[in-house]
Amino acid sequence: MRKEIRNPVDRGHAWVNLGYAGFVGTVSAMNEKQIAICEMGGRGEGQSDGKPMAQLLREMMENAGPIERPVEILRRG
């Protein structure tokens, strides 16, 4: 069952996660700065040298304001 989970934070930006209760990262979300993200497909199991994609997307929602910031987070990931 999918849930809408609002994430007010003490630091960073508030964001809405469309996912599953108990899931720490995110696959679909939008923050208060109107940055929206959705992971589609995947199929990259075992091909990442950095953070898991769900964690990168969460970091983007919490910290991204202008569009350049989420791109920087993904490249660094």
**Among 56, 3, 61, CA closest to 29:** 61
Interval 8-55: pLDDT, tens: 667 788 888 887 778 888 888 888 888 888 887 666 665 666 778 888
Question: How much is the pTM?
Answer: 0.68
- Spatial strand order of the sheet with 15-19 comes to 3-7, 15-19, 28-31, 36-38
DSSP conformation class of 25? S
Average pLDDT over residues 62-71: 77
Confidence of residue 64 (pLDDT cuts 50, 70, 90): confident
DSSP conformation class of 68? H
Contact of 20 with 68, CB cutoff 8 Å? no
